[in-house]
Amino acid sequence: MKIQIDLEAGTVSQGEATHAIGTPEAFALVSKAWLRSGWDAKHVYSFSWMGRPIIQLPEDMVRLQEVIYTVKPDVIIETGIAHGGSLIFYASLCKAMGRGRVVGVDIEIRPHNRAAIESHEMYADYITMFEGSSVDEAIVGKVRDQIKPGEKTLILLDSNHTKAHVAAELEAYASMVSVGSYIVATDGIMGHLGNAPRTQPDWTWNNPEEAAREFAEKNKNFVLETPAFVFNEGVITQPITYWPGAWLKRVA
């Protein structure tokens, strides 16, 4: 796909279609190019939250913050810990709201990451971590035990991003999601990268977005619904995201 950007004329063109640069159509084309450029440049590997690497697109985290503040979950569960930046992010929101705590799961919590997370000022009062496969029945049971009766939960899946693994996570954790809240299958950008560096040919189908889509088709208690912007005085209504087709909302 070829995109032409003419800053002097203020236009963005694809094929025979030309759009004024401030239109949603132009913004979508430029953003698609930006996402691909950012992937190749490893842009997301340049951010931290309160001292810990976060490895997330900033817009995704701000949009997620909007959802967390709206839902006000008692428990935020994330599979995939890595450096711990996202756990610290959620914990800082819990502290700011005066509500909530965080549960993280990773198949391997490397000693230096564990030490950094456990020594962080957000850890003691807000974060619990379990080491093991996110789909191991024993680990799933430990996570479930962290949820008290009547508590609201929000869940993010950010570990192994194969379609099969995400599908297994959805089956394991979906019942823990509160009505009106979400389970989020992150990093569906995999299916939109073509032959970019660090990709695999099967990513066109072997990705979290496909797992989420199939889950929604089979589970009528959930719908695929990207949260609307809480505040918007512009013309853009869709996020620029690494998480397309990620947001599964529990409706029943």
pLDDT digits (tens, 9 = 90+) for 44-91: 999 999 999 999 999 999 999 999 999 999 999 999 999 999 999 999
Strands (E), 161-246: 182-185, 222-224
Mind listing the pLDDT tens digit for each residue in 170-189? Answer: 999 999 999 999 999 999 99
Give the C-alpha separation, 192 to 197, whole Å: 12
pLDDT at residue number 159: 98
Report the length, in residues, of the chain: 252
Mind listing the pLDDT tens digit for each residue in 115-157? Answer: 999 999 999 999 999 999 999 999 999 999 999 999 999 999 9
User: Can you tell me the mean pLDDT for 187-214?
Assistant: 97
Give the C-alpha separation, 181 to 109, whole Å: 27
CA distances from 206 to 1, 87, 245 (A): 22, 26, 14
pLDDT at residue number 1: 80
